[in-house]
Amino acid sequence: MESDLQKTLASLKESSSYRYLPIVDHVSSYNFQSNDYLNLATNTALFDAASDAMKHYGFGSTGSRLLSGNYDMLTTLEESLATFLGKERVLVFNSGFQLNSGVIPTLYGKNDLIIADKYCHASLLDGIKFSGATMKRFNHNDMAHLNDLLQKNRSFYKRCLIVTESLFSMDGDRAPLKSFQDLADKHYADTMVDEAHSLGVLGEAGRGLCFQEGVSPTYIVGTFGKAMGSCGAFIAASTIVCDYLINCCRAFIYTTALPVPVIAATNQALALIQHMDLERDHLHVTARYFTKMMKQKSYDLLGDHHILSLIYPGNRALLDRYSQLKDAGIAVAAIRHPTVPKGKERFRFSLKSSHTKADIDYVVEQF
Domain membership flag for residue 200: yes
**From 226, 305, 306, 352, active-site residue:** 226
**From 31, 34, 35, 166, active-site residue:** 35
- Tell me whether residue 14 is one of the annotated catalytic residues: no
Bond preceding residue 341 cis, omega within 30 of 0: no
- Tell me whether residue 226 is one of the annotated catalytic residues: yes
- Tell me whether residue 140 is one of the annotated catalytic residues: no
Q: What are phi and psi of 235, to 5 degrees?
A: -125, 130
Domain extent, residue 310, equals 19-38+277-365
- Tell me whether residue 169 is one of the annotated catalytic residues: yes
* pTM for this prediction: 0.93
Percent of the chain with pLDDT over 90: 90
**From 61, 95, 141, 169, active-site residue:** 169
**From 36, 173, 194, 345, active-site residue:** 194
pLDDT band at 256 (very low <50, low <70, confident <90, very high): very high
* Alpha-carbon span 289 to 357, nearest angstrom: 7
**From 87, 136, 187, 197, active-site residue:** 197
**Where is the domain boundary, 273, 304, 339?**
273
Q: Are residues 63 and 206 in the same domain?
A: yes
**From 87, 121, 282, 306, active-site residue:** 121
Q: Are residues 196 and 285 in the same domain?
A: no
pLDDT tens digit sequence for 74-101: 999 999 999 999 999 999 999 999 999 9
- Tell me whether residue 35 is one of the annotated catalytic residues: yes
Domain membership flag for residue 128: yes
Whether residue 212 has pLDDT greater than 70: yes
**348, 170 contact by CB (below 8 A):** yes
pLDDT band at 16 (very low <50, low <70, confident <90, very high): confident
pLDDT tens digit sequence for 113-149: 999 999 999 999 999 999 999 999 999 999 999 999 9
- Tell me whether residue 17 is one of the annotated catalytic residues: no
In the chain, what are the helix, strand and coil shares in percent, each to the nearest 5? 45, 15, 40
Query: Lowest-confidence range among 11-15, 49-53, 91-95?
Result: 11-15
- Tell me whether residue 117 is one of the annotated catalytic residues: no
Q: Are residues 169 and 29 in the same domain?
A: no
How many helices (H) and strands (E) the chain has is answered by 14, 10
